[in-house]
Chain A
Amino acid sequence: MNQTQTSSGPILTTDGIPLKVSLKKAERINKIRAFLLVLPLLAFILITFLVPIGDMLARSIDDRQINTVFPKTFEVYKKWDRQGLPSEEVYKTMFFELKNSEGYSVGKASTRMNYSKSGWKSLLKKSKRKFKKIEEGPYKEKMIAIDKKWGDPEYWLAIGQMVDPTTMGYYLNAVDLKYDSSKNVVQQKENRRIYNKTWIKTFKVSLLVTLFCLLLGYPISYLLATLPMKYSNLLMICVLLPFWTSLLVRTVAWMVMLQQKGVLNNLLVMSNLLEDENRFQLMYNQTAVVIVMTQILLPFMVLPLYSVMKTISPTYMRAALNLGASPMHAFYKIYMPNSVPGVSAGCLLVFIIAIGYYITPELVGGKDGQMVGNWIAYHLKTTLNWGLCASLGAILLAMMTVLYWAYNKIVGIENIKLG
């Protein structure tokens, strides 16, 4: 009886604390230690990766710049029926909010308003300067007298898109749509429809580059993996040497090679294979972007392919041939399936790098080789429309996530190997 009691009661350690509690404590300390060990990495990822991405996503829908400058105007604006011009009350509120605004808020607001309707920027600036001299109404007439844009309903209607603190406007903008004055989604003006074409082009170029990299990279990697060491080392250097060369140097070298009066065209003309006036247009267009990017990204395909192929034992192929398979059949049935993890890794890597490429299209893209990255750079630097940049970037991110998800469904992510 006594014995059963001790065994069913809690097991105690020598200092009288139940073993379970003591163990838990020890475990907790270990857990904290482990956590502290990964804390620097976690903090690093949080600060350098998650926070900027979060900030970017927030920027892509944030629309508060104007709400803080013209809050009262928005209140009275909401009552307007969007027919003709707004009432004197709207003009008056706008007048005082603009006149009494301080600091740089108007500058920032006018930049934002200019995205909705070109012309707001100078209108607000000029008006703020001239409003100082106006003491009393009627404000509507006086404002229109200062600048006739105040009498243009288009400008007033454009405000309607900015009344809410958040907006989907940047995302719409990124796919050639926009809000009309009553917040319906409509197509962008025809001659400004540029982003859908750019998206398709970006996809097309990235896919082509990935495909060409695979076509060129597969045989090279096969040779690298199967040749005797002394030859394969030499070949490896040939792959790595351009990889170590500056991106700009390689791009400019291609410019010299491919331009109309460049090395390639000159050789063809000199050897009478090409008429002087029919020189190939291989530079400053989409073809140039595909050629140059393929060369630049090739090592990203070759290296994962090579490291996977290196692990495929040559005995498999020998066994297949021994069992009577034709070389083609053996390759198709044995070698290729074994190299799939390398192919997936290479393709995913090349595609991901290609889709956000910027500098090469900028240099050799010319008239039709500009990709999404180039537009992001333009808005980031010149128009300061960071909301649009953020939405373009977010769409890129979303597309990559979808791609990753689809890839996981079809091939399986465990089937990816870098070596």
Chain B
Amino acid sequence: MRKAIKAAFFGLISMAFVGSAIADITFVSWGGAYTASQQKAYIDTYDKGSSITVENYNGGLGEIKAQVEAGNVTWDVVDVLPDQAITGCDEGLFAKVDQSEFLNDLVVPPVSECVVPQIFWAYTAFYDKAAFPGKKPKNIKDFFDVKKFPGKRGIHTWANALIEMALVADGVKASKVYEVMSTPEGIDRAFAKLDTIKDHVVFWSSGSKPLELVSSGEVVMALAYNGRIGAAILSEGKNFEYIWDATVLEQEYLVAIKGGNEAEALAFMAHASSAASNAEQAKYIPYGPMRKSSIDIIKKGEPWFVKEGGNIDILPHMPTTPKVLKRAVIGDPVWWADNGAEVHERFGAWKGS
């Protein structure tokens, strides 16, 4: 009897070792339709995909820093925003990766040595067509013009993208936004512009909220993540319209956490950042790939977006088409890494006053 128990015990231990030899990594992302698209595009298609555990988080480096400092790393691959990609890489929370495979294929250069490309997502203004039977808002100036288009606006509770949009609405060229923002007067100017809509705003903090706000008529226009708007139009048949002006493009990357299962993590990241995987993801969510060759794959493959009863063209919903890019602001994570805390505190004071 005792022997049998012993045998079973060692059997279990050896199984645990065999288990860790497969892939056994934890992939952490934002949840919802976004994680679902990642699952379909490159976890299900990965040969060791079944041994990948998927978890959700709410962004930020807090948990990662705590894991690394405590020497107890349970996350291996994490989907991060660019300013966190910079800070985390600088502080040694992320492993460095070999970027030679994709370096010349990216729309913008990578923000740090620790990242592989994921997607572009965007803060975009949108409205319900039913809310404006007559004249429709066309640009970001209209979003900030409550006389021409009366009604409430839905905006998020943090300052990113709002400063940029306010400046473009105030007449700054999209390409000059960060130049203006680097002067104290520039920030004053942005807040002065925000003042003009202050009494007409409803704040949201979770990504699905602006869609509800616009659907229910609580607000007439709102800013939202373009993928959420696209999903509402494509999958739920909502009657929404984008305002592709001063769209603020944000980058999204994958990183491997230092001290986790680095070798397996990097192998998985190589698969996840391939041109095919990047393009594949757009079948399920309208975020723009970061690799130029992925956009070509989509262009050739249209209608690309997978839907029951016939696929749909995805490019009109993408924030990275030339038409949109011409009027877009490409978010500068370095500027935000430098000035984020200060501007956010000022934004908090502005909100509360």
Contacts and interface: CB of A to CB of B under 8 A. Distances in A.
B219 to A, nearest CB: 9
Given A367-B352, A385-B341, A110 B202 contact: no
B87 A381 contact: no
A98 to B, nearest CB: 13
Nearest to A197: B352
A191 B91 contact: no
Contacts of B61: 381, 384
Interface string A375-396: 1001111111100000000000
Interface stretch (A71-79, A111-119, A138-146): A111-119
B296 interface: no
A115 B203 contact: no
B301 interface: no
Interface stretch (A11-19, A101-109, A227-235, A297-305): A101-109
A366 to B, nearest CB: 4
B297 interface: no
A88 interface: no
Interface in B328-353: 334-335, 337-342, 344-346, 348-352
Contacts, number: 104
Given A191-B349, A194-B345, A362-B205, A118 B338 contact: yes
Nearest to A259: B218
A367 B60 contact: no
A108 B218 contact: no
A233 to B, nearest CB: 38
B338 A367 contact: no
B151 to A, nearest CB: 11
Residue from A120, A380, A381 having most chain B Cβ neighbours under 10 A: A381
B341 A194 contact: no
A125 interface: yes
A363 B206 CA distance: 8
B23 to A, nearest CB: 28
Residue from A115, A120, A381, A382 having most chain B Cβ neighbours under 10 A: A382
B341 A119 contact: no
Chain B, interface size: which category?
35 or more
Contacts of A250: none
Interface residues of A, number: 41
A92 interface: no
A381 B90 contact: no
B337 A368 contact: no
Interface string B183-223: 00000000100000000011101100000000011100000
B60 to A, nearest CB: 3
A417 interface: no
Interface of A: 103-104, 106-108, 110-111, 114-115, 118-122, 125, 191-194, 197-198, 201, 259-261, 284, 362-363, 366-368, 370, 375, 378-385
10 contacts: A104-B92, A118-B341, A121-B87, A191-B350, A193-B349, A194-B349, A260-B218, A261-B216, A284-B203, A366-B157
